[in-house]
């Protein structure tokens, strides 16, 4: 297992390098001038040149590429143009927020999606199955940003207007008076702020997971070993959860790896709707502000998350399915 992980990590190096190269050239070959943001019409020519030198933009692109790659090798992502701080510091600050959002969404989505999928498979063609399939298809086809807006509309705006007992905040990660709350209230405040964004992300994901689980469970349930398990008198929950589910989960786990890039696009929209201070919003803002180091650093982080996600799902295969051995 260890050799497998090491081999996979080594194999990922050219992949990450290739991605870094694509990112660099897409960003740097695009028309437009990132130095413009520091300039005003009444600056002298020397001052303008000095800005370019300071930002390292006076060099030709191949040299900038080698320099950037060299710094990257030492764990240096450069200094952000708009934040005036090292990119790494900015990412360190915002990455936990995004992880909080995406991990809780993935967790909720997988638990609910798998449970619903099992239920649908066990009661195939029942009313529950058809209703869940149709409703699931709608959520599956929904743009996450629209779902998020509708959640805000109903659970914060209408809830406030109609004075519902529970109203969820529709923006930001914590309340303005967060610093003055007691520890218990702090946790409560965080949870309230997390609910809407995580739910809107999780609903879209769970719909896909349920579809997938249903299909794969249906295949497994018809197999001989399940009949054997029933025949030897095991109770239905044991048959389903211990015998069938473990085999039915194998394809579902592939989804975990596949969903990580999708999750990024999800967080971009969700963070933008909820003004959630996270990586997605950081990269989108950086792109509109032409903050080249942040664009490159941020997308690199996301690409790495995808690579790690694929690795994790390969390792989970071995956990769920002992027949798979990576030696």
Partner 1 sequence: MTDASLSAVLPGFPQMLKGRWGVGGMSLTVWLGLLGVLLNRWARFGAGWGGPLDHQIASLTVVAGLLGAWGWSMFDVSRPAEMERSGIGQWSLTARAFKKNRVAVIGVMVVVWIYLIALITPLIAPHDPATQASLLTARLVAPGGEFPLGTDHLSRDVFSRIMYGARISLSIGFIAVGISVTIGTLLGAVSGYLGGWVDTVVMRFVDMVISFPRLVLLIAIVALFESNSIFLIMAVLGLTQWPGTARIVRGEVLSLREREFIEAARALGFSRRRIILRHVIPNALAPVIVTATLGVGNVIVLEAGLSFLGLGLQPPTPSWGSMVSDGRGYLLDAWWISTFSGLAIVLTVVAFNLVGDGLRDALDPRLRT
Q: Give 187-224 as a 3 state SS string.
A: HHHHHHHHHHHHHHHHHHHHHHHHHHHHHHHHHHHCCH
Quick one: tokens of 9? 């990590």
CB of 302 to partner 1, least distance (A): 4
CB of 120 to partner 1, least distance (A): 11
Q: Of the two residues 159 and 320, which places its CB atom closer to partner 1 in the complex?
A: 159
Distance separating alpha carbons of residues 57 and 111, to the nearest angstrom: 49
Task: Name the segment binding partner 1 (CB under 8 A); options: 45-53, 143-151, 220-228, 318-326.
Answer: 143-151
Q: Give 14-44 as a 3 state SS string.
A: HHHHHHHHHHHHHHHHCCCCHHHHHCCCCCC
Please report the DSSP string for 210-276 in residue order: HHHHHHHHHHHHTSHHHHHHHHTT--HHIIIIIIIHHHHHHHHHHHHHHHHHHHHHHHHHHHHHHT-
Site for partner 1 in 14-43 (CB under 8 A): 15, 18-19, 22-23, 26-27, 30-32
The answer to whether 247 and 290 are in contact (CB under 8 A) is no
Residues 270, 276, 278, CA angle at the centre, nearest 5°?
Answer: 95
Distance separating alpha carbons of residues 265 and 30, to the nearest angstrom: 22
The answer to whether 302 and 264 are in contact (CB under 8 A) is yes
Return the residue of 113, 211, 259, 293 that touches partner 1, per CB under 8 A.
Answer: 211
Q: Of the two residues 152 and 239, which places its CB atom closer to partner 1 in the complex?
A: 152
Return the residue of 68, 81, 264, 276 that touches partner 1, per CB under 8 A.
Answer: 264
Q: Of the two residues 33 and 49, which places its CB atom closer to partner 1 in the complex?
A: 33
CB of 268 to partner 1, least distance (A): 6
The answer to whether 295 and 78 are in contact (CB under 8 A) is no
CB of 187 to partner 1, least distance (A): 28
CB of 77 to partner 1, least distance (A): 15
The reply on whether position 313 binds partner 1 by CB under 8 A is no
# residues near partner 1 by CB under 8 A: 50
CB of 182 to partner 1, least distance (A): 31
Site string for partner 1, 146-185 (x = CB under 8 A): x--xx-xx---x---x------------------------
Burial 11-20 (b: 16+ CB within 10 A, else e): ebeeebeebb
For residue 223, is it left (φ>0), alpha (ψ between -120 and 50) or beta? beta
The reply on whether position 252 binds partner 1 by CB under 8 A is no
The reply on whether position 6 binds partner 1 by CB under 8 A is no
The reply on whether position 140 binds partner 1 by CB under 8 A is yes
* Binding residues vs partner 1 (CB under 8 A): 15, 18-19, 22-23, 26-27, 30-32, 134, 137-138, 140-143, 145-146, 149-150, 152-153, 157, 161, 211-212, 214-216, 261, 264-265, 268-269, 272-273, 283-284, 287-288, 290, 295, 298-299, 302-303, 306-307, 310
């Amino acid at each position: 297992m260890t050799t497998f992980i090491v081999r996979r990590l080594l194999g990922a190096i050219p992949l990450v390098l290739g991605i870094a190269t694509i990112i660099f050239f897409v960003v740097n070959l695009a028309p437009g001038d990132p130095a413009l943001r520091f300039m005003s019409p009444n600056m002298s020519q020397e001052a303008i040149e000095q800005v370019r030198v300071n930002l390292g933009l006076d060099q030709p692109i191949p040299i900038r590429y080698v320099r950037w790659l060299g710094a990257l090798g030492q764990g240096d992502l450069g200094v952000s143009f708009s934040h005036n701080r090292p990119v790494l510091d900015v990412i360190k600050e915002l990455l936990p927020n995004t992880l909080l959002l995406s991990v809780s969404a993935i967790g909720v989505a997988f638990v609910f999606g798998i449970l619903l999928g099992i239920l649908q498979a066990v009661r195939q063609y029942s009313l529950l199955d058809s209703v869940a399939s149709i409703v699931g298809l709608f959520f599956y086809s929904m743009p996450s940003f629209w779902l998020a807006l509708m959640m805000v509309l109903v659970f914060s705006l209408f809830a406030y207007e109609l004075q519902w007992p529970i109203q969820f905040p529709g923006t930001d990660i914590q309340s303005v008076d967060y610093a003055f709350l007691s520890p218990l209230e702090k946790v409560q405040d965080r949870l309230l702020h997390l609910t809407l964004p995580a739910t809107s992300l999780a609903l879209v994901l769970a719909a896909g997971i349920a579809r997938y689980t249903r299909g794969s469970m249906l295949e497994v349930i018809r197999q001989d070993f399940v009949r054997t398990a029933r025949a030897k008198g095991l109770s239905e929950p044991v048959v389903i959860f211990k015998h069938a589910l473990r085999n039915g989960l194998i394809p579902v786990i592939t989804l975990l790896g596949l969903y990580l890039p999708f999750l990024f696009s999800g967080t971009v929209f969700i963070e933008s709707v909820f003004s959630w201070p996270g990586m997605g919003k950081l990269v989108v803002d950086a792109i509109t502000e032409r903050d080249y180091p942040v664009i490159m650093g941020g997308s690199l982080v996301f690409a790495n998350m995808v690579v790690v996600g694929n690795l994790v799902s390969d390792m989970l295969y071995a956990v769920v399915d002992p027949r798979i051995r990576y030696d």
